[in-house]
A and B are shown apart, each in its own frame.
Chain A
Amino acid sequence: MIDWRFMGEILPELLRGLVVTIQATLGGFAIALVVGLLLALGRRSGLPLLRRFCDGYIAVMRCTPLLVQLYFVFYVLPAYGVRFGALTTGILVLGLHIGAYLAEVYRAGIEAIPRGQWEAAKALGLAWPVTWAKVILPQALPPMLPPLGNFLIGLFKETPLLAAITVIDVFGAANNIAGQTYRYNEPYTAAAIILLVVSLIAAYGVNRLERFVNRSRRAKGEVAVRTAERPPVL
C-alpha cells in the first residue's frame, strides 16, 4: 500500500517542514512562557481592573478555537495595515493561546507554596525581589517543570494547524505534496510518523524530568508531584 521509494523521495521536503515546525514550537513556547507569567502576575496584582482583564483574556483564549484565532489575526490585521508573515502570525497566536494555559501552571506552582513561607520571609524583613528569588521561586519552579514540558509537547502537536494559514511545516509540506501528486498515503503517513516520533521522544524526556524532580523532592521529605496527562490544547 505504501510506496517506500516515493516516501524516501519526499522525506527531505518533510524534514525541511520539520525545521519550520520546530521553529514555530520553540518561538511559540517562548512567547507563551512570558505571556503566562505576565498573566499570572496580573492576576495576583492589587489592581482589580488588571485582574479582570487577565481573567477575561484567559477565558476568551481558552473558550475559542486556535484555528479561528489564527484566521482572525491572519486575515483581519492586514485590513488595518498590520502585516506579519504567516509563520510570524502563527508563532504569535500559538504563544498568546498557550500562554493562557501556562498562567494556570504558574498559579498552581505559586499557590502550592505554604503561606508560612511568605510570612517567614516577611518576618525576616526580606524585600519582595529577595522573597521571590530566594524563597518562592526555588520551591515553586521544580514542580512546574513537568507540566510546562507537557504544554511544550502539546504546542508541538498543534503546530500542524498553522498549515491552514499557509505555513509550510511538516503537515503543510505533506499537504503540498498530496496536492501536487494526488498521492495521500505516503505524505500523511510520513508526517504522522515524524510527529509521533518527536513527541514520543519529548514525552520520554518529560517523564524523566518528572522522576528527577520527584527524586529530589522525596529526598527532602516533600510530596511527589504528579503531572496531569498531556493536555489536548486546540
Chain B
Amino acid sequence: MLDIGESVAVVLPQLLKGAAVTLKITALAAVLALVLSFLVAAARAAPWTPLRLLTVAYVEVFRGTSAIVQLFYLFFILPSFGVSLSPTTTAVVGLAMNFSAFGSEVVRSGLEAVARGQHEAAAALGMSKLQAYFLVVLPQAFVIMLPSFGNMLIDLIKASSLVSLITITELTFAGRQMVVTTGMPFTVWGLVLLIYFAMAYPLTWVVRMLEKRAARFRGSPA
C-alpha cells in the first residue's frame, strides 16, 4: 500500500499529460466553435429561406440532443458512411458543432444588443452597410458577446471530459487508466477534479472582468 505522497508522485505526471491533451482539444474546439458561431448566425440571418431553415434545424438538433450522444454518433456512424476521421478530429468537430449552436445565439443576441441608433448614425456619416457593420456594430457587439464566450469556454473545458468516452487519452481518460493501475480511486479522482478546477476557475475571474467591461460599454450597471 502506497501512502498518499508516493501515490500522488506516481499518478500526477500521467494526469498532467492528459491535461495537456485536454487543453489542446479545448483550444482547437474553441477556435472552430467561434468561427462556426459567426457563420451559423450569419446563415440564420440570410435572405435565402432554405438556408435559414437549414440553420434553424442545425441549431435545434445540436441544442436539443446532448453532446455525448452527438460525439458517439459521429464516432460510430460516420465510418459506416465511409467517412473516417481520427478520434481527435471527431472530438474537436463534434464539440465545436455542439457549442456553435449555442454560440450562434450569443452572436445573434450580441448583435441585437447594439443600439439601433448606431446603424443610423453610421448611415448618416455616409458609411456603406458593410463598413457600418465591421467598423461600428461588430466591435461593440463583440464586447457584449465576450462574457458569454468566456462562460462557454469554461463549459467547453468541462465538456472535453466527454471525449474520454470515445477513446481519447485526455485528463479523464488518464484518470480511468490510473485508477485501474493504482487502485486508488480517491487520490486519482480527487486530483483529476483539482486539475480541472485549476484550469477552469481562473477563467471565472476573466469572465467577471469582461462582464464589468461589457456593462460599462453598454452604459448600464451590470
Contacts and interface: CB of A to CB of B under 8 A. Distances in A.
A199 B98 CA distance: 15
A102 B157 CA distance: 21
Contact of B175 (A71, A157, A231, A234): A71
B179 A75 contact: yes
B217 interface: no
A64 B65 contact: no
Interface stretch (B1-9, B70-78, B86-94, B114-122): B70-78
Nearest to B101: A232
Given A66-B158, A233-B155, A196 B99 contact: no
Nearest to A163: B68
Interface stretch (B41-49, B123-131, B135-143, B193-201): B193-201
B103 to A, nearest CB: 10
A64 B197 contact: yes
B77 A200 contact: no
Contacts of B68: 160-161, 163, 171
A64 B193 contact: yes
B44 to A, nearest CB: 13
A233 B67 CA distance: 10
Nearest to B73: A188
Nearest to A178: B76
Contacts of B172: 65, 67-68, 71
A65 B176 CA distance: 14
Interface in B56-71: 60-61, 63-70
Interface residues of A, number: 42
Given A60-B197, A65-B196, A160 B189 contact: no
Given A64-B200, A164-B165, A79 B158 contact: no
A59 B69 contact: no
Contacts of A152: none
Contacts of A159: 66
Interface in A177-201: 178, 184-185, 188-189, 191-192, 195-196, 199-200
A72 B76 contact: no
B177 interface: no
A158 B66 contact: yes
A63 B201 CA distance: 6
A159 B61 CA distance: 17
A196 B189 contact: no
B73 A192 contact: yes
A68 B80 contact: no
Q: Which of B81, B154, B165 has the most CB of A within 10 A?
A: B165
B189 A75 contact: yes
B176 to A, nearest CB: 8
Interface in A198-234: 199-200, 203, 229-234
A200 B185 contact: no
B164 interface: yes
B204 A59 contact: yes
A234 B64 contact: no
A188 B72 contact: yes
14 contacts: A62-B204, A63-B200, A65-B160, A67-B162, A68-B161, A76-B189, A76-B190, A79-B185, A161-B68, A178-B76, A188-B69, A188-B73, A195-B65, A229-B63
Interface of A: 1, 59-60, 62-69, 71-72, 75-76, 79, 157-161, 163-164, 171, 178, 184-185, 188-189, 191-192, 195-196, 199-200, 203, 229-234
Interface of B: 60-61, 63-70, 72-73, 76-77, 80-81, 98-99, 102, 105-106, 109, 152, 154-155, 157-162, 164-165, 172, 175-176, 179, 185-186, 189-190, 192-193, 196-197, 200-201, 204
